[in-house]
Structure 1
């Protein structure tokens, strides 16, 4: 029975050294059945480090694979699933800080806008480093390393207040030319792109299942041109990286060591993991009979160098050695490589292992030619397509323009803003203009009102920066608005009263107010730059002068205490003006008038007004009041007769 393409998936892994095509289908018991495969090497250097250079050369091999598989399976292949090389990814670590209004609570929208600004900064850095124009790179993903509040590390910013917020993140980008060259090859081969993913994503979804990604693991795809690294932690892929040393370095060192041409060196390299003894002739006819161990010892330095660079990249992006490392790719099978990598990472050697397809569950139709670590990525591409996790590039209409995005995962509104260079500050509300005025010569500023944050609509429904998008969605953003300039009234800018209490009665120290030199009545609306002068009473002496009170400083209590000088007056001060009293007495036969401020004048108070020394007794002290013996605390009244003497 002839298969139809609706039942099948055709995937291509377009690599530096080989191109692998696989046709597979889901079985009734939910297994994946490999119906056919084709593996072809490039007959010349069509690709360098995973990037297509000779489009015609790559197209020719793809056409040969299509013809072979169509002949084997009696099908017409129309659509193909492909993957962009992970080695083309660029990562950039950036930090962005932004001053904020410390009176406002930090919202999620503010944090999202901060992250978006950081991703755009990373995109600009990547574009400048690669000498590409703006928008030449797709934003793939990013992971937050740290948040900052006033330069202090925070795990979360929402709900806090401060003067400055910041974020440090690791952003990942893919160049547009990688996608364009892949699409060109597929189109010229008479095919359509059905789905597209990234090679490290396809590989990691097969090699490291989601339930293992809670662990800190590294997946290293060691190919011909580069070694590509993906790192997982806490359930996520947290970083992508690459080194420029891989299998070709081993091929070249073999060529130089034994004087072999490139093809012979490549053949010798691939046999090192499958044969113990090797017989070959070099270009001048010299014969070699060497064991794998002898050859590995001869080229150990380059094996160690490759592993050391991989280890350094893992440590750079992970900060420490991961819990374990999985190796895939054709060059991962190089004898001694995994042991060197374990040594350079400081891991036990059993923590670095080669992943082949033997551990993949629910897969059928494999034979000995497609069971190695070099088949992880092509099978991963096929599985990704069968699971329909990634559906090609998607088109979104953004503010009236058509935008195409690479659909590596859930595409969010924020991804469009990064791609289009949308200014994240347009998402936030803006403060209105400040109102400037002066009070007694001091400049004052009234901050403008707060505007409204941006409104994000997806298909005419309200959304946010994290709203997921589908192909054909229409996204519109209404920019955040600017708040109004606040025009105050006079009493919004100055106190209407400055109250103290005189003998328990309230008194306003503010006499009147001038605006631009003119005395003002009422509460008028101010104009920009108005100069306000508050005429007020500031000291006790100014108060007595204003009240026209003939009261001496000695008769005034300020907050219950006698004042010593011209005290400054403050709001809610309590002043007490003491009354002046006279009492007429006859003391030892002499009439005396005494002025005092007491409510009650006592016998003992006399000694403050007469010359009588109590410190030098001359007998018994006798006190008489109107002819009777008196006590010290006896109250006195006008006309009382007093006698004070020593009785010897």
Structure 2
């Protein structure tokens, strides 16, 4: 064996590890952005090492990878150390999820609220995927999502930010990849003595070479029809908007042929492959009967299977695209099955020319393709190789999240929100919560004081403050301090009821609160309350209460509140009200032997007031003035009442 030289830095080694075959390509990427294929190697599995794109026998796949590696090394005279690989698109799972969330209608909807809503929807989709795939035992994580619709109070909205409402909602399409797929690929590569240079997703690698970026403004579908499954990628408005998969492909056609003509699986596979290149076929079945049939006859005999596959593909495309696309491109080893592309066109309601098989002739800036590697089955392997050079060392991000090492598949711009989905971080831990309410009872009615507002979550990337949209780079250190719950407010008595409510009554200050009892005991200070304390407040509430409390017996028409005449004694009093009484009273007196009825307008009528109502001259003294009330000497300010007897006279 020749002595191998160390691997050249500009060599690109890629592997497409498929269900039926493994394809290895070695090439160079030139300065003028051309990819030159130097050599290739294609080997079939000698047994069922893989099912539907998933590695089941790691050692069996490793054996073939080692064989391809050594054969290419021998022919190129160099050692291959690093390789680009791809995770099968058939491993992807997509899920639609809708989430509704009650919000405070007084607050304007902001960007952060929308991001948290979307994060909850992604986690709901992840839970749905985990539940539906429970028997498989696979762990899935999100690699992307697109919003289908927003909702505000159950009404469709294009944007939520800036609006107000009671409820917001989002319906989105999330895409997930099982972690086991990546780990099994890495295990094979490590056992083969190689290192992963780059890892891509097969549908992304394929679409990047099959459909140029400028064409993605169109609504196009790419179908990779392999052995185990048919993988679908859909473009629209300049981006890949959806991935899908059906579990029917070339193997179903092989099985239909095998059953129809009594062939073992491998013989049926060889006959199927020959249908795309030969018109006549001669073969012998398992009981020794020889058959001579045309391609047209064989296709007709198993056309029902072709219809089933085409129908499932069309339904899946419409499910994710919501309508037929503008055009469809087909790649993969089974795409060349006669009648298949025409049947897909019919099921989608497209003209036949709108569904075409994409081979390597459409790939730009590539050299070294010969007749053995120019078919639609080579598109994805070439795409993996080109992805390897254009996105080298960009396959995974290694970050530290709250002290834990996390590896995330780098299929797009990664943000903090993606890390939270991967780690299962609860989005509700980003929103602060109010503390428990303080419960008390006021006059038998349950009352509560809302707890203190908690602190919102803090997000840091490399010690710098960030948010859910902060981009994440390799080796970033991410720390999230969870939102906190506020404490309970412990009130004083006057936080629940005022201790004083002062009004003016005839220029005198009166406290409307007559008495406060705390748990049945009268209090006059301002104590700290205890949970579920019972407060009783006895207060003057109405004008009638005030008059009763003050002992006044007057007509309601004589009462004024803040200068306004009172119509009903049930009028409620407020703090700082000014109440006045317009007294209109009569008193009946016997003055110097004569009965006199006097009308007065004041609260009390005293002895000296009678001089305003009788003809008695006090300006000229005629001796000593004698004042008697009911036969006794009296002072000027003595209060009078009905039927009092008064004597007024001068003495020498």
The 10-residue stretch of structure 1 (110-119 or 318-327) with the greater mean CA deviation from structure 2? 110-119
Tell me, what secondary structure is at the counterpart of 2:436? Answer: coil
Cα distance in 2, alignment partners of residues 390 and 50 from structure 1: 24
Aligned with 2:261 (options 258, 263, 279): 258
User: More displaced, 336-345 or 467-476?
Assistant: 467-476
Kindly state the Cα deviation for residue 379 of structure 1 after the two structures are TM-superposed: 0.9
The 5 A counterparts of 1:59-458 are: 59-131=62-134, 136-388=139-391, 391-458=394-461
Pair 421,560 (structure 1): closer, same or farther in 2 beyond 3 Å: same
Asked if 2 retains the 8 angstrom alpha-carbon contact of 1:384 and 1:390, the reply is no
1:508: Cα distance to partner? 7.0
Task: Compute the displacement of 1:294 (Å).
Answer: 2.8
1:24–1:36 CA contact under 8 A, matched in 2: yes
How many angstroms does 1:287 deviate by? Answer: 4.0
In 2: Cα distance, 1:258 partner to 1:500 partner: 107
Larger mean CA deviation between 516-525 and 112-121 belongs to 516-525
Cα distance in 1 between the residues matched to 2:384 and 2:59 = 23
The answer to whether the 8 A contact 1:135-1:419 is kept is no
Deviations along 1:590-609, one digit per CA (max 9) or x if unpaired, are xxx9x9x9xxxxxxxxxxxx
CA 1:446–1:214 in structure 2 vs 1: closer, same or farther (change >3 Å)?
farther
Q: Give, in whole Å, the separation in 2 of the partners of 1:495 and 1:156.
A: 47
Aligned partner of 1:550 among 553, 556, 565: 553
2:36 corresponds in structure 1 to 33
Deviation (angstroms), 1:134:
8.2
Q: Report the 3-state secondary structure (helix = DSSP H, G, I; strand = E; otherwise coil) of the residue aligned with 1:40.
A: strand
Quick one: structure 1 residues 340 and 193, their matched pair in 2 at CA, closer, same or farther if it must change by over 3 Å? same
- Measure the CA separation in 2 of the matches of 1:509 and 1:441: 20
User: 2-side partners of 1:323 and 1:37: how far apart?
Assistant: 35
SS of the equivalent of 1:353 reads: strand
1:519-598 aligned within 5 A: 519-521=522-524, 524-553=527-556, 555=558, 566-569=569-572, 571=574, 580=584
1:475 and 2:511 equivalent?
no
Q: Distance in 2 between matches of 1:502 and 1:141?
A: 74
Deviation, 1:186, is 1.4
Match of 1:624 in 2: none
Aligned counterparts of 1:436 and 1:398: Cα–Cα separation in 2: 40
Whether the aligned pair in 1 keeps the contact of 2:197 and 2:392 (CA below 8 Å) is no
Deviates more, 1:114-123 or 1:355-364: 114-123
Which residue number in structure 1 is paired with residue 630 of structure 2? none
CA deviation after TM superposition for structure 1 residue 297, in Å: 2.2
Alignment check: 8 A CA contact 1:124 1:134 kept? no
Alignment partners' CA distance in 1, 2:116 and 2:137? 20
How does the TM-score come out when normalised to structure 1?
0.81
User: Cα deviations across residues 73-95 of structure 1 (Å, max 9, x unaligned)?
Assistant: 22211111101111112222223
The alpha-carbon deviation at position 252 of structure 1 amounts to 1.1
Aligned to 1:51: 54
Residue deviations 1:289-330, cap 9 Å, x none?
Answer: 433333322222111100111112122223322233221111
1:136 & 1:195 partners in 2: Cα distance? Answer: 22
Contact 2:434 2:485 in 1 (8 A): yes
**Per the alignment, in what secondary structure is the counterpart of residue 180 of structure 1?**
helix
The whole-number CA distance in structure 2 between the counterparts of 1:250 and 1:132 is: 28
Query: How far, CA to CA, are the matches of 1:515 and 1:191 in structure 2?
Result: 80
Quick one: structure 1 residues 319 and 501, their matched pair in 2 at CA, closer, same or farther if it must change by over 3 Å? farther
Q: Is the 8 A contact 1:3 1:74 kept in 2?
A: no
Unaligned runs of 5+ in 1: 583-592, 598-648
TM-aligned CA distance change 1:563 to 1:346, over 3 Å: farther
Contact 2:12 2:29 in 1 (8 A): no
Give the direction of change, closer, same or farther, for the CA distance of 1:515–1:379 in structure 2 (3 Å limit): same
TM-score by length of 2: 0.81
Q: Can you give the 5+ residue segments of structure 2 that lack an aligned partner in the other structure?
A: 587-596, 602-652
Secondary structure of the corresponding residue to residue 188 of structure 2: helix
Q: Alpha carbons of 1:490 and 1:320: their partners in 2 closer, same or farther (altered >3 Å)?
A: farther
CA change 1:580–1:413 in 2 (3 A) is same
Give the Cα–Cα distance (whole angstroms) in 1 for the partners of residues 507 and 75 of structure 2. 109
